Amino acid sequence: MAKIIVTGGLGFIGSHTVVELQNAGHDVLVVDDLSNTTIEVFERIKSITNKDFEFYQLDLKKKDDVKSLFAKAGKVDGVIHFAAYKAVGQSVNSPLEYYENNLGSLVYLLQEMRDNKLDNLIFSSSCTVYGQAEDLPITEHSPVQSALSPYGNTKQVGEEIILDAIAAHNFNTISLRYFNPVGAHPSAKIGELPLGVPLNLVPYITQTAVGLREQLSVFGDTYDTHDGTCIRDYIHVVDVAKAHVIAVERLLAKANEDNYEVFNLGSGKGSTVLEVIHAFEKVSGKNLNYKIVERREGDVTAAFADTTKANETLGWKAEKSLDDAVADAWRWEQKIREEV
């Protein structure tokens, strides 16, 4: 049993990770600024696990808030750092706020971890660091390419900041590079809560199917893929959450082979946009209203993971399928619409 700080722990991946940490018997302390989620998620998590946990609403881009977090936390064994802004398009319009929030909070967090002699960190990174990889599937050795957005750059620079911090102090860090986390908890008590118009494919599909959106726009069908639409590696959010528990337990057990390890978190399977739509129609029994429109700036043609390293080194493998993910996302969408 360990005590883990989860920053951004009321967010999409964070909340699912809190559930899995509690299921594994760990104590959790969540900090979240509620800028991209709601306090209801706190009760929803507890309704799944029937376990309480500490929660503090703090803004980690304020140094004093980070200091007060550690003053309140007491003895802690590790940190899982999700807290960040993550909308690619928004980051293009507001780069300075993205650098201030995503990198400022990381620096303050690392300073407080250093000063409190806490060295176990799991960092939430992203496959966007690979850009359009030359070779597919993408391994952890695929070259990091210049970011296609300020958001993607905050993940790249975040990893570099951590590497420099490790060189000077004795942090032990695992960076998890997510491909496309989708779906929701099978209980339909937590899931993705996009505030405003969803930017990502799966929440846009479910909001269209439930009648909240008129029609899904498919951004281009002239890509060099078997059906002309982009390929991505959609991985169930519960599988992503379970990987975080395995990763933090690896550090707690001092089983890491290096003080900086990187793992791709994907299903290892690429699916096109049309395949996701058809999977949704199959599991929901709904005909989705969509149309093909022009391409979206910055989209890569294809990205999916080689998951060998996570499979062999972490002993982790995605267990849920794309059908499971879109079915759970649909159940969640219908549940929250009932509650509105």
Question: Active-site positions?
Answer: 151
Rounded least distance, CB 97 to ligand WQD, Å:
17
Nearer to ligand WQD, 34 or 300 (CB): 300
Rounded least distance, CB 82 to ligand WQD, Å:
10
Binding site for ligand WQD (CB under 6 A): 86, 88, 126, 128, 178, 180, 199-201, 204, 216-219, 230, 232, 273, 296, 299
First to last CA, the chain: 38
Rounded least distance, CB 73 to ligand WQD, Å:
26
Nearer to ligand WQD, 26 or 320 (CB): 320
In the numeric block, the tokens 């209801």 are attached to 40
Rounded least distance, CB 113 to ligand WQD, Å:
23
User: How far, in Å, are 205, 211, 241 from residue 23 at the CA level?
Assistant: 30, 35, 11
Q: Are strands 231-232 and 271-272 parallel, antiparallel or unpaired?
A: antiparallel
Instruction: Give φ, ψ of 64 to 5 degrees.
Output: -65, -35
For the four alpha carbons of 216, 222, 226 and 229, in that order, the dihedral sign comes to negative
Closest residue to ligand WQD in the complex (CB): 230
Angstrom distance (rounded) from CA 159 to CA 154: 8
Residue 176, beta-bridge partner list: 124, 263
Taking alpha carbons only, the member of 208, 263, 194, 212 closest to residue 235 is: 263
Angstrom distance (rounded) from CA 20 to CA 3: 13
Rounded least distance, CB 153 to ligand WQD, Å:
11
Rounded least distance, CB 299 to ligand WQD, Å:
4
